[in-house]
Each structure stands twice: as structure tokens, then as C-alpha cells.
Amino acid sequence: MTDLLAARSQMGLSLAFHMIFATVGIGMPLLMVIAEGLWMRTGDEMYLTLAKRWAKGTAILFAVGAVSGTVLSFELGLLWPGFMKFAGPIIGMPFSLEGFAFFFEAIFLGIYLYGWTRIGRVAHWLAGVGVALSGMLSGMFVITVNAWMNTPTGFELDAAGAVVGIDPYAAMMNPSSVGQVTHMICAAYLATGLMTAGIHAWYLLKEKGNLFHRRGLAVGLVVAGVATALQPVTGHLVAHAVAHNQPVKLAALEAQWETIDGAPFTIGGWPDEEAEETYYAIEIPKLLSLLAYSDPNHRVMGLKEVPKEDRPPVAVTHFAYQLMLACMGAASVTVGIGALLVLFRRKIPLDTPYLWLVVLTAPAGMVGIEAGWTATEVGRQPWVIHGVMRTADAVTPVTGIQITFLVFTLLYIVLGVMCWFLLHRQFLHSPHDQVEDGT
């Protein structure tokens, strides 16, 4: 393994691990605020129990996320000094704002956790709203940095290649920001809601009369359902930005080798990068041109238009993208069936087959996020800043990164096991003193 590959692997592992906690840090506070709001409105004590249990889980996940996020901040400087030297003055502002959002989130979370009997109901609920908003803003600011890496704006280069004329606001509001931010925020709510619903559905398979899990299932499915309905809109914004600013990435996502008018949308398929062909794919005529350019006959550039050294790893990009779409489809089916059952029955579906469906698709949102980020990052290669700086030029000259990669892999395994253990003890056990036959 080369030092460049080791650095990319370590950064990828760190991001994949942190992504789980960042996602839950955005989504879980919304669920606990909704639960507490429902308790204040209805007086149902089970909603209060839900809010308190979810708050404990949020605190545990917040702590682990803080550790993994700190590791990432060090890795940016240690593994990618070339990137930070060039981009630091441009993206410093969103990183600073993310720090402020993180501190506000920690403050509001402390008030929320320890203020149940010390402040009024409304003030306590507003503290929860502060946690939810701060978590969302923290994610938004970080995502604008990644969006800038895909479509860099807000600076100029002088004759010597030095950065001049920096406009941090223009950098934050680059052409990819709105699409990536809205798409990721919705994905976080979808993934957290669906995962939460899956946990409660698992326990309902054993004890269908448990009110605690019924309420948890309902709130999780509602949040996941609303987010799922919004995802096609936000996904279209992302696709539009990629098509206009990163045509090579679009071609890699779809494993599109030829430049053609009215390009088809590819489902499945096996890209052969040596033969420059994609086998066994299902193609929907002209759909790619329609989705990407709002014109079914628009020309889409193929990978053969660019030299091989300027192409991303096509197979990894395409498979990750297809996995993301499959996960989105699974989530849509689950919440769609649930919505139909509620519409016709006027109550939460507790059928054993449906509960199993929720359990089996519970990881779909989180897996889809990991796959989507893989497609986004790998699809930008060989550039760390699209069209400006190659990844190979940004990596540290220090050798021996393979050792730190191994050490950090073990660290994340330990953190993951500890987190699961704490959640199992403090979050997943439910009260059994209140059950009913119908909801």
C-alpha cells in the first residue's frame, strides 16, 4: 500500500466512522424534541419517557462524535498539509462557524440533559430545539466545505499560482452548496428516523402491546417519511450541479463511456475499465439527460472524452452510487407501505410482516449515506479540489502512514464497541409497565 493510498484509506475510514455520529447528531435531537412536544401537548407520559431515553442516547453519540470529529480535524493538517495550505484561508470561515455551532450544541445539550426539573417546560423544550438547530447548522457548515471542493469558487490565482481575492461567502455559497446541504440534512433525518423505527420495531416483534415502542415506531416513521418525500427534490439539485460542473463525475456515476444525445439512466451493470464498456446494465432511454439537464435530448459527456489519468475509479463510483439508489428505494418502499396502512386503518401498522420489513430496512438510510459519500468523494478523484489541486499533490511527504492507518482502525473498533455497549445498557432497554391492545 502506497503512502497516498494509506492516507486516503485512513481519511476514508475516519470519515465513514464519524459520518454515523454526525448523522445521528443531526437527526436524533429532532426526534427527542418532537417526543417532548407531543408530551406537552397530549400529556402522554410515554412521550416523555421517549424524550428522556433519546436524550441519553444523543449524549452518548455526541460524545463519541466529538472524539471522532477531533481526530478528523487533526488528520486534515497531518495527512493533507498541501490542501490546508492552499484552502485554509478560503474555507476557514465555515470551519470556524462549525466550531461555534458545535459549542452551542454542547451548551444546549447540557441544559437539556440536566434541566428537566430545574427550568420550565417551554424553556426546556426550547433548549432541545437549540440542540436540534445547532446540530443541523454544524452539519451545514461542514458540508459547504465539501461542496466547495467539488465546485471551488470565491478566490483567484495570480500569475505565480498563489491564492488572491478571497471571498469566503462566495466560497460557502458555491454552486454545489444548496444541493449538497439539503440532500445531506434530509438524508440524516431519513437515516435516523428509519434506524430508530427499526429498533422499536424489533422490540415490538416480541411485545406488540408495549406503548414505549409503539410511540417510538410512530415518531421514527413519520420523520423518515417526510425526509424520504423530500429526497428526490434535493437529489435533483445535486444531480443538476454535478452535471453542469463535474461532467466526468456524472459519467463515472452512470458508467457512461460514450458521449451521446439523450443519454439513458443506468440501473446496475458491471463497468469494465479496461474494455471501456458496462455489461449487464438496464438502461432507461433518455432519462439521464432528462434528470441531469431537464432535457431528454441533451448531450451527456462520456468517460472516453478524458484521459484515463483524469478519470475517477469508475467501478467504485458506480457501485457506490447504485447502492445509494437501492437504499433510497428500500426506505421509500418501507415508509410508503407504512403510510398506506395508516391511511386505510387509521392506526400504526403492527403486522408482523411489516415490522420485519422495518427491521430489515432500518440500516438502509445509514448505508445509503455512506455509499453516497463514497460516490461523491471517489467520483471527484484524482482531484482533492476539483480542477485545481490533485490529491497526490495534497498528501503529506511523511512516510509510514500505513502504521497510523492500522492504529486508527483499532481505535475506531474500540470506540464502536464501547458506544454499542453504552447504548445497549442506557438507551435500548424499555419500560414494560404500560401496554395496550390498540393504538
pLDDT of residue 34: 95
CB of 190 within 8 A of CB of 231? Answer: yes
Residue 163 is inside which H or E element, if any?
A: strand 163-164
Model confidence pLDDT, tens digit, residues 185-241 = 999 999 999 999 999 999 999 888 888 899 999 999 999 999 999 999 999 999 999
239-258 burial code (b ≥16 CB/10 A, e <16): bbbbbebbbbbbbbbbbbbe
Torsional sign, CA 72, 77, 79, 82: positive
pLDDT level of residue 170 (50, 70, 90 thresholds):
very high
pLDDT of residue 429: 55
pLDDT of residue 437: 45
How wide is the angle at C-alpha 376 spanned by C-alphas 198 and 223, nearest 5°? 30
Q: Which residue has the cell 443519454?
A: 263
How far apart are alpha carbons 55 and 192 in whole angstroms?
Answer: 14
pLDDT of residue 135: 92
The DSSP annotation for 199-248 comes to HHHHHHTT-TTBHHHHHHHHHHHHHHHHHHHHHHHHHHHHHHHHHHH-HH
Mean pLDDT of the residues in the chain: 90
Model confidence pLDDT, tens digit, residues 323-373 = 999 999 999 999 999 999 988 888 888 889 999 999 999 999 999 999 999
Sorted by sequence, the CB contacts under 8 Å of residue 364 that are 6+ apart come out as 194, 327, 328, 330, 331, 334
pLDDT level of residue 155 (50, 70, 90 thresholds):
very high
Q: Let me know how long the chain is.
A: 439
Distance of CA 235 to CAs 20, 34, 189, 328, Å?
Answer: 20, 26, 15, 11
Tell me what the mean pLDDT of segment 273-300 comes to: 91
Amino acid at 145: V
The DSSP annotation for 111-156 comes to HHHH-TTTS-HHHHHHHHHHHHHHHHHHHHHHHHHHHHHHS--S-E
Model confidence pLDDT, tens digit, residues 389-438 = 999 999 988 888 888 888 888 888 888 888 888 777 765 555 554 545 44
Residue 390 is inside which H or E element, if any?
A: strand 389-390
Model confidence pLDDT, tens digit, residues 70-81 = 888 888 888 899
Q: Is the predicted pLDDT of residue 179 greater than 80, yes or no?
A: yes
Of 54, 52, 48, 433, the closest CA to residue 210 belongs to 433
Model confidence pLDDT, tens digit, residues 230-286 = 999 999 999 999 999 999 999 999 999 999 999 999 999 999 999 999 999 999 999
pLDDT of residue 78: 84
Say which DSSP state 340 is in.
H
The reply to whether the predicted model has a pTM over 0.75 is yes
3-state SS, residue 432: coil
